[in-house]
Amino acid sequence: MSISDLGEFGLIDILTRGFTYGTGVIKGVGDDTAVLAVNGDKWLLFTTDMMVEGIHFSLDYCTPGQVGGKLLAVNVSDIAAMGGRPTHALISAAIPPQLNTSVMNELYQGLKEAAQEYGVNLVGGDTVSNRERLVLNLALLGEVEVGKAVYRDGARPGDSIYVTGTLGASAAGLYLYQNPDSQCSPRSVDYCRLAHAVPKPRLDAGSFLASYGVTAMNDISDGLASEMHEICKSSGVGCLIRETCLPVDPRVREVAACAGLDPVNWALFGGEDFELVFTISPDAQEKMKSAASAAGIEVYHVGVITRLSEVVLEKDDGAVVPLRRGGYDHFSK
């Protein structure tokens, strides 16, 4: 069997099968970050993400500074999904020798500006040569109060499902970068392109939601459908997502109309929105919504956790259909 037959998540399941942990590991493989015990009143959060030129970014339409900022932002989003705060980062880069030094200088300037924005210390890393393309990796530490981390496996039947913002803008932005002749309004083009090139992780929202007892949380990196499959698998539940409740910005709808595409597909499967999807018990949601409104945090009710193990979508016409995982798979055919 080839890796492409397995797919990304099947490969991860095989590679991590049989992992064993010592007493210092609170949470290992299977969530947005690992959670490690250290002395004191905080747990250590540990995550890493890799970005490969031509797959995760293109210097044809993203500036090097945007790439550097995004490298940190996608990792910060993982910390946010655990209800934590980021602290220290290491950066590794495999760099084509022929690349102009100005590219790396600008990339690192974007990285430093993002680090200042999110309160992260850049404490080291590694550089190697790579003939073909630029490859970047960032490992990020964070912290959360002992016992306060939010995992994927806490969703329970009857819990409500929310997201922290509108969906599909990043996918729309990628479409516009790849189809520069699209006839859409400048307002919509600028909004969607910026959403793709300069994502904003919901760091404050993550720690806020953790304080209001959300039962499970994920960041939306691979698409809402994919994240809900992860939450449901980890929690041993199912869910129903309502198409009519999916929050899609009018500017995204305009781009979809120009492209002749359904914006719902971008909202469900586009990915890289880096909003948070979370579940909360019905008796806690009204207090959370009121406090979120007062704090200026947008939340949208998009579905419900069910007892069945199925992940389904309620269409506009009321029909209920299976909701495929979708999202980006590095190894799919």
Annotated binding-site members for ATP:
108, 125-126, 152, 221
Residues annotated in a binding site for Mg(2+): 32, 47-49, 78, 126, 219, 222
Instruction: Give the residue from 219, 234, 218, 38 showing the smallest Cα distance to 146.
Output: 38
CB contact set of 109 (below 8 Å; sequence gap of 6+): 65, 68
CA distance 264 to 155: 24
CA distance 325 to 333: 15
Query: What end-to-end distance do the CA atoms of the chain give, in Å?
Result: 13
Dihedral sign from CA coordinates of 109, 113, 116, 118: negative
CA distance 200 to 103: 22
Residues annotated in a binding site: 32, 47-49, 56, 78, 108, 125-126, 152, 219, 221-222, 272, 328
176: part of which helix (H) or strand (E)? helix 169-178
Residues annotated in a binding site for substrate: 56, 272, 328
CA distance 289 to 283: 11
CA distance 125 to 93: 8
